[in-house]
A = this chain, B = another copy of it.
Amino acid sequence: MSYRPTAKTRARQKAQHESLLKTAVSIVARDGFHGLTISRLARETGIATGTVYKYFDSKAHLCAEVFKRATEREVDMVRAASFPEQPAPCRQRLTDAVTIFAERAILGGRLAYALIAEPVAPAVEQERLIYRKAYAGIFEQLIEEGVKTDEFPSQSPSVSAAALVGILAEVLVAPLGRGDAATDQSLLIGPIRKFCLRAIAFRETA
């Protein structure tokens, strides 16, 4: 035996992996998953096509990692807003969570569209579902708590949570994929927030 991967070697490996992932995310942010091809990724990273496969088993795996990388932070932010250190009423937390999601989606622009609404291959769609469920899970927990403490009216937390995800995706992100992105997205935040609040926190006026 005469060769052992050493710390330095493994560091380079990791760095390359990282570099590829970074480039991949940047491609997706520019042209969506549609624009992410192995050869382009290789080209932009400055390596050969085949080399990519030394770092990722398949395109599906690559896409999964890209998705994870780009979405995890978002989910964390929404979770943090939903369950803050400082205790706060559910209503406030719901508002904050929706706002955070919206602001970050608008900031994300093309990338947000790619992650949430762009038509993608079934394999990538599978990844997307994981994160939709993550969002839904957070909302569900929050709504459940609100119902329990009687801050929110009786409702099905799972349905309401899924509905929230649908609202945010359709109202905020889907338009990015169309021509009508002319509208200033930030103008949508207020109305969406109100809509969600009505839907989840309002009781019928007597």
- A181-206 Cβ-contact flags toward B at 8 Å (1 or 0): 00000001001101110111011111
CB distance from A105 to the nearest CB of B (A): 13
In chain A, positions 111-153 with a C-beta closer than 8 Å to chain B are: 119-122, 124-125, 129, 132, 153
In chain A, positions 134-182 with a C-beta closer than 8 Å to chain B are: 153, 155-156, 159-160, 162-163, 165-171, 174-175, 177-178
CB distance from A115 to the nearest CB of B (A): 13
CB distance from A206 to the nearest CB of B (A): 7
Contact size range, A:
35 or more
Judge whether B159 and A165 touch: CB under 8 Å. no
Judge whether A165 and B156 touch: CB under 8 Å. no
Judge whether A34 and B122 touch: CB under 8 Å. yes
Partner of A170, one of B163, B175, B203: B163
Judge whether B171 and A167 touch: CB under 8 Å. no
Kindly list chain B residues whose C-beta atoms are within 8 Å of the C-beta of A120.
119
Judge whether A198 and B198 touch: CB under 8 Å. yes
CB distance from A174 to the nearest CB of B (A): 8
Residues of A with Cβ closer than 8 Å to B? 34, 119-122, 124-125, 129, 132, 153, 155-156, 159-160, 162-163, 165-171, 174-175, 177-178, 188, 191-192, 194-196, 198-200, 202-206
Ordered by A's residue number, 30 sampled pairs between the chains whose C-beta atoms are within 8 Å are A119-B121, A119-B122, A119-B124, A119-B125, A129-B178, A132-B170, A132-B174, A155-B194, A155-B195, A159-B191, A159-B192, A160-B195, A162-B170, A162-B171, A163-B166, A163-B170, A163-B195, A166-B167, A166-B169, A167-B167, A167-B170, A196-B199, A198-B198, A198-B204, A199-B199, A202-B204, A203-B205, A204-B205, A205-B205, A205-B206
**In the A-B complex, the 7 residue pairs with the closest CB atoms:** A166-B170, A199-B199, A166-B166, A156-B191, A159-B191, A202-B202, A163-B167
